Structure 1
Amino acid sequence: MNQVIINTNSFKTRAAVLENGKVMEIHIEREGEGTLNGNIYKGKVANVLPGMESAFVNIGLEKNGFLYVKDLREFEEKYLTGFFETAKPIEELLKVGDDVVLQVLSDPRGSKGARVTTHYTIPGKFLVLMPNNNHIAISKKIKDESERKRLENLFSEIVPNGMGVIIRTAAEGKSIYHFEKELQYLIKKWEEIDIKVKSSKTGELLYKDNGIVSKVLRDIIGNDTDEIVVDNEDVYWEMMDYIRAFTEGVSKVKMKLHAEKDDIFEKYAIQKEIEKSLEETTYLECGGSIVIEKTEALVSIDVNTGKNIGSMNLEETVVKTNIEAAEEIARQLRIRNLSGIIIIDFIDMKIEEDKAKVLEVLEKNLAKDRVKTNIIHFTDLGLVEMTRKRLGKPLSYYFQDECPMCKGTGKIKGSRAIVENIIKELKEIVDEKDVKTIKVLTKESVKEKIDNIYIDFIKAFLKKNGKKIQITTKNRDPLKDYEIILES
């Protein structure tokens, strides 16, 4: 049974997708804080960089948006000048101070601003409206050729000239009744945006993609959803109205209001699963494990046999572990919402058929992912290289902060290195005439290292310069490696 569990309070809204009792996705939106993906802003060009074929645009955020020339050039050629494939450079298309309407493609992250585009899209449940593109595209997940042809012919008749659509997977098998209704709704939204453009100021938000509840209804709930459980009555009726409006007759989805006082995420063991998914290591039922580490550049996943010694030969044990790992990796990518370049180090397999079998399992499980993924291949080093589209924030964003001690490296400065820093600082202050006693406040491990190795050298050095030293573990600031106090 496939379920969607929604928890709402004054501070945040959370949604979890469960497949046969297993948590597969977690979506969180805090009050006043949400993803910028899909938002449309009135912007002003702040800088044009010919060497990078791009421009930075002020859209009212902390960091300027980043616009590639390709995202602008195709739009300019097709809709402003009428010329095609002119390969105009960015400096001929934009000047500093120009106004431009932009949609966010990816949220700001780290030191990078939001990636923006002029290829606008307004998403619905069954289709995505492309108001400045006359192309009709169909989801690759719709495999049946006759159904693809039916949808293409149907939309060719109802989509206005000059506009295009992306037909979503949820449209499969649906009637023109659904599409006409939603198309009118999305066109009206675009017309409202168009009206706002003339009177808006730089940085003004022209369109905001809907909140998490609407996104759940639009993007997650489909033909395979059996039950929705909600713990807020207002949200319950909002969802009920949406389902009635965009489905023929009575939907098969069962709506349930969780009226008990106990936490709905605790009842369905979702909170426990969140906590597990914040750890680097995830354990497999077979006894193996996968270790997931995220860096700025990529996500690395290492598969280990662990306690799985198997009852068969080594190759079969390895393949069995890798297959279970492939299933769990696809799930963890969804739960943790990891994206970008992903490198998977499966346990070494010597037989090509075994590698193909593991890849097939990985592909099959990734096919359930709503976010676009692409498996490249096994590299020469035996690693699987894949990508997952960036969409929203990773799960860790909502629950973890950077460690003030290690600054996100997972390592803290060693005691010997801290002692060397202390000695360096003592050498810098030893010539100060009015200082008689130097107090060093540090942690136990550093004091122990000084007492065992360096104390005689330090005392002799300071005595020669007429100074004494006191070392204590009463560090006033636990976030500092050490603190030096000078007394006259």
Structure 2
Amino acid sequence: MQISKVIMHRQDSDITTFVYGSNNTLRFVVTDNLGTPNIESIFISKITRVNANNSAFIQYTDNDIGFINLPKKANYQNGSTLITQLTWHGNDSKQAKLRSEYTLVGKYIIYQGSSNKCQIINKSTDSEFTNTLQNKLNHLTGQWIVRSASKSSHLENIYLEADKLANIAKHISDITNSSSSVQQIHNGTANYLRVIRELNLTDNCEIINNDSSINQELIELQDIWELDAITYDPHLDITHELVSYQKYCGQNIFTTTNDIKIEYGVIAGIHIFDINSNNSKLSNAQINNTCLDEIYRQIALRNLYGIILIDIIKDSGKTEETKLINKLTTLFKNDISYTKVLGITNGGLLELIRNKY
């Protein structure tokens, strides 16, 4: 999937981002709140309680407590401090989750951790590309992972991005060497930037925004991420987009191009899609296959997360069920969030778990 247009709109402390694919089709909608730390933010945290299962509760801001799985064989006690990275904001019933080691993620390369030399992991079979990278980045100590989307044509972009990430890592190191007080030491990447970092953009993909701070961030990334068309419009009006999106998400029954009805609902926090085939002349396998495309689109647009169940048409056979699992797995490779397709339950439901974005 390639992205042709992105609209970023700030209203007070809230930022709404609309992401469009080919033919100006809306694919994703993500939100940010400037009062909330971004995912991937890094903190000096203090352990408030160590649990028996090698986990702990930690204070990562003056007012926030989160949960962390401690490194194996680590000897932490109540009151110990450590560097942590936010992986999930939490919700009304569960606390935020953090991890004890941090990574700095770029579009082309990832800083994986400190090292006394430059170590590059590249799964590419292009040995010349790997050797060129090693020689060019040899002055940057640390562990680096070249992302799968990176190609030899991105060499200059990788150099620039690696330098940027190395400077951030040095800044984090300088702070942690001079202070042990609870504080945020690096602001992670906002969702409106993560979508253009993680997705493939078409040539001349238009990125429109209404905020000077957002626009400045985009300009600073323009050369590294090859952002060809950035438009700053302080009078940007997204009333039409918001009304259309809210109307779309308010529907719980929708129809595919083959007139197959799908019903969506939530029971005890579990998202359920029910395929209704009463009026269809297609085979069970064809109905299921057709509906998966629309259900994926619904999940992505509504940004659903947690347990998701799809009540597929039964009696398709094991071979067809395997095809459905493989197709859904392939569809979610284009997603902005990590999704694990678990398979078919004993009750014949197709089950998956999607992370919150």
Query: Does TM-score exceed 0.5, indicating one fold?
Result: yes
Which residues in structure 2 correspond to 1:407-426 (within 5 Å)? none
Q: Supply the distance in 2 between the matched residues of 1:282 and 1:108 (Cα, whole angstroms).
A: 30
Please provide the CA RMSD for this pair: 3.1
Decide whether aligned partners of structure 1 residues 45 and 258 sit closer, same or farther in structure 2, where only a CA change above 3 A counts. Answer: closer
Q: Supply the distance in 2 between the matched residues of 1:107 and 1:61 (Cα, whole angstroms).
A: 16
**Shift in Å, 1:213:** 4.3
Determine if contact 1:59/1:202 at 8 Å carries over to the other structure: no
Which one scores higher on RCO, CA 8 angstroms, separation ≥ 6? 2
**Secondary structure of 2:336 counterpart:** coil
Q: Does 1:301 align with 2:273?
A: yes
Q: Supply the distance in 1 between the matched residues of 2:153 and 2:254 (Cα, whole angstroms).
A: 40
Q: TM-score, normalised by structure 1?
A: 0.63
Residue 64 of structure 1 aligns with an amino acid whose one-letter code is I
Q: Percent identity?
A: 18
Which residues in structure 2 correspond to 1:402-441 (within 5 Å)? none
Deviations along 1:440-469, whole A, 9 cap, x unmatched?
Answer: xxxxxxxxxxxxxxxxxxxxxxxxxxxxxx
**Shift in Å, 1:8:** 2.9
Residue 13 of structure 1 aligns with an amino acid whose one-letter code is I
Counterpart in the other structure of 2:182: 203
**Secondary structure of 1:367 counterpart:** helix
Q: Does 1:345 align with 2:323?
A: no
Q: Structure 2 residue aligned with 1:263, among 237, 243, 248? A: 237
Q: Structure 1 residue aligned with 2:264, among 291, 296, 299? A: 291
Q: Supply the distance in 2 between the matched residues of 1:159 and 1:382 (Cα, whole angstroms).
A: 53
Residue 159 of structure 2 aligns with an amino acid whose one-letter code is E
Q: Supply the distance in 1 between the matched residues of 2:122 and 2:267 (Cα, whole angstroms).
A: 33
Deviations along 1:350-406, whole A, 9 cap, x unmatched?
Answer: 334433443343233212113222223223432222232333xxxxxxxxxxxxxxx
Q: Structure 1 residue aligned with 2:197, among 194, 218, 221? A: 218
Counterpart in the other structure of 1:107: 89
Determine if contact 1:43/1:102 at 8 Å carries over to the other structure: yes
Counterpart in the other structure of 1:272: 244
Counterpart in the other structure of 1:12: 14
**Shift in Å, 1:176:** 2.3
Q: Structure 2 residue aligned with 1:190, among 169, 172, 175? A: 169
Q: Supply the distance in 2 between the matched residues of 1:138 and 1:340 (Cα, whole angstroms).
A: 32
**Shift in Å, 1:229:** 4.2
Q: Supply the distance in 1 between the matched residues of 2:349 and 2:220 (Cα, whole angstroms).
A: 48
Q: Supply the distance in 2 between the matched residues of 1:294 and 1:155 (Cα, whole angstroms).
A: 51
Determine if contact 1:40/1:101 at 8 Å carries over to the other structure: yes
**Shift in Å, 1:102:** 1.1
Determine if contact 1:281/1:292 at 8 Å carries over to the other structure: no
Deviations along 1:383-440, whole A, 9 cap, x unmatched?
Answer: 222232333xxxxxxxxxxxxxxxxxxxxxxxxxxxxxxxxxxxxxxxxxxxxxxxxx
Determine if contact 1:119/1:132 at 8 Å carries over to the other structure: no
Decide whether aligned partners of structure 1 residues 62 and 4 sit closer, same or farther in structure 2, where only a CA change above 3 A counts. Answer: same
Counterpart in the other structure of 2:68: 67
Determine if contact 2:88/2:98 at 8 Å carries over to the other structure: yes
Which residues in structure 2 correspond to 1:448-459 (within 5 Å)? none
Residue 168 of structure 2 aligns with an amino acid whose one-letter code is K
**Secondary structure of 1:333 counterpart:** helix
Q: Supply the distance in 1 between the matched residues of 2:152 and 2:114 (Cα, whole angstroms).
A: 27
Q: Does 1:174 align with 2:156?
A: no
Q: TM-score, normalised by structure 2?
A: 0.83
Q: Structure 2 residue aligned with 1:124, among 95, 106, 115? A: 106
Residue 383 of structure 1 aligns with an amino acid whose one-letter code is L
Unaligned 5+ runs, structure 2: none
Q: Supply the distance in 2 between the matched residues of 1:43 and 1:197 (Cα, whole angstroms).
A: 11
Deviations along 1:290-338, whole A, 9 cap, x unmatched?
Answer: 3142644x43333223xx512x3xxx34333322321122222222222
Determine if contact 2:39/2:190 at 8 Å carries over to the other structure: no
Decide whether aligned partners of structure 1 residues 48 and 357 sit closer, same or farther in structure 2, where only a CA change above 3 A counts. Answer: closer
**Secondary structure of 1:341 counterpart:** strand
Q: Structure 1 residue aligned with 2:339, among 348, 370, 373? A: 373
Unaligned 5+ runs, structure 1: 74-87, 140-144, 392-488
Decide whether aligned partners of structure 1 residues 325 and 193 sit closer, same or farther in structure 2, where only a CA change above 3 A counts. Answer: same
Q: Structure 2 residue aligned with 1:364, among 330, 341, 355? A: 330
Determine if contact 1:131/1:162 at 8 Å carries over to the other structure: no
Query: Looking at CA atoms only, which structure, 1 or 2, has the larger radius of gyration?
Result: 1
Q: Supply the distance in 2 between the matched residues of 1:236 and 1:101 (Cα, whole angstroms).
A: 30
Counterpart in the other structure of 1:420: none
Q: Does 1:227 align with 2:205?
A: yes
Residue 372 of structure 1 aligns with an amino acid whose one-letter code is Y
Residue 210 of structure 1 aligns with an amino acid whose one-letter code is T
Aligned residues: 349
Decide whether aligned partners of structure 1 residues 110 and 8 sit closer, same or farther in structure 2, where only a CA change above 3 A counts. Answer: closer
Decide whether aligned partners of structure 1 residues 53 and 239 sit closer, same or farther in structure 2, where only a CA change above 3 A counts. Answer: closer
Residue 244 of structure 1 aligns with an amino acid whose one-letter code is D
Q: Supply the distance in 1 between the matched residues of 2:244 and 2:78 (Cα, whole angstroms).
A: 51
